[in-house]
Amino acid sequence: MIAFLTGRLAVKTPTHLTLDVQGVGYEVHIPLSTYYSLPNLNDSTALHIHTHLREDAIQLFGFLSQSEKEAFLLLTSVSGIGPKLALSVLSSLSVTDLVHAIQAADTEKLETVPGVGKKSAGRLTLELKDKVGKIQGIHPSSTTEPAGFDALYEDALSALVHLGYRAQDAKDALKRVTKSASGSLALKELIREGLKELARG
């Protein structure tokens, strides 16, 4: 069982690469997140590998980070989620966004992934909610963070900071907004309500 490979990057595409390990070329399937972070061709790189055994083939799936590999293994443990769909999830969402979406039962975000429908999204949140927090380098969402603490929240926080507000003040204001909101807010609404909270002091 191959778990790790280090070698020369001989070929790279958005879906797979070929790693030359002492003259042997290994074809490895990868998510876009790994592809975007790969070095130049002929440079040395190291990948965390999952060996997938099928009746008619042996496939290798590679990731630059251990957290991506762990997320991939958790995704494929869910009924109906195969390796290709798991790669699609990791190509569409960062591991952090994936974890937060599952913990917050944000099925709408999961459904933005090509190939993931309402039923698949529901299974992901149901089966992985108590497991994703154990992914290496990812901390479970604490009760002090708003349920919508994701990329949208970060964008709103960044906008308020660029407007001249202190990061901690902006964060506190957004927490109050998300806590009192009856439903999810769009980015513009989140920023507008955050500004109102900051104005109140």
CATH number at 159 reads 1.10.8
d(CA 91, CA 113): 9
In the chain the first and final C-alpha atoms are separated, in Å, by 58
The answer as to whether 107 is a domain residue is: yes
Residues 103 and 46 in one domain: no
CATH code where residue 77 lies? 1.10.150.20
Domain extent, residue 46, equals 4-63
**In terms of Cα–Cα distance, which of 88, 73, 77, 76 is closest to 30?**
88
Residues 70 and 88 in one domain: yes
The answer as to whether 38 is a domain residue is: yes
Q: Is 0.85 surpassed by the pTM of this model?
A: no
Residues 54 and 15 in one domain: yes
Residues 126 and 99 in one domain: yes
Which of 24, 48, 63 is the endpoint of a domain?
A: 63
The answer as to whether 145 is a domain residue is: no
The answer as to whether 48 is a domain residue is: yes
Query: SS3 sequence, the chain?
Result: CCCEEEEEEEEECCCEEEEEECCEEEEEECCHHHHHCCCCCCCEEEEEEEEEECCCCEEEEEECCHHHHHHHHHHHCCCCCCHHHHHHHHHHCCHHHHHHHHHCCCHHHHCCCCCCCHHHHHHHHHHHCCCHHHCCCCCCCCCCCCCCCCHHHHHHHHHHHHCCCCHHHHHHHHHHHHHHCCCCCCHHHHHHHHHHHHHHC
Residues 166 and 194 in one domain: yes
- Report yes or no: 83 and 29 within 8 Å, Cβ to Cβ: yes
**In terms of Cα–Cα distance, which of 154, 196, 151 is closest to 176?**
196
The answer as to whether 144 is a domain residue is: no
d(CA 29, CA 15): 6
The answer as to whether 41 is a domain residue is: yes
Residues 124 and 83 in one domain: yes
The answer as to whether 36 is a domain residue is: yes
The answer as to whether 102 is a domain residue is: yes
Residue 178: what pLDDT? 79
- pLDDT tens for the chain, 201 residues long, are 889 999 999 999 999 999 999 999 999 999 998 998 999 999 999 999 999 988 888 999 999 999 999 999 999 999 889 999 999 999 988 898 899 899 989 999 999 988 999 999 999 999 998 898 888 666 544 434 444 445 677 788 888 888 888 888 888 888 888 777 766 677 888 888 889 888 886
Residues 114 and 164 in one domain: no
CATH code where residue 43 lies? 2.40.50.140
Domain count, the chain: 3
Rounded to an integer, what is the distance from CA 36 to the centroid of its chain?
14
Residues 53 and 94 in one domain: no
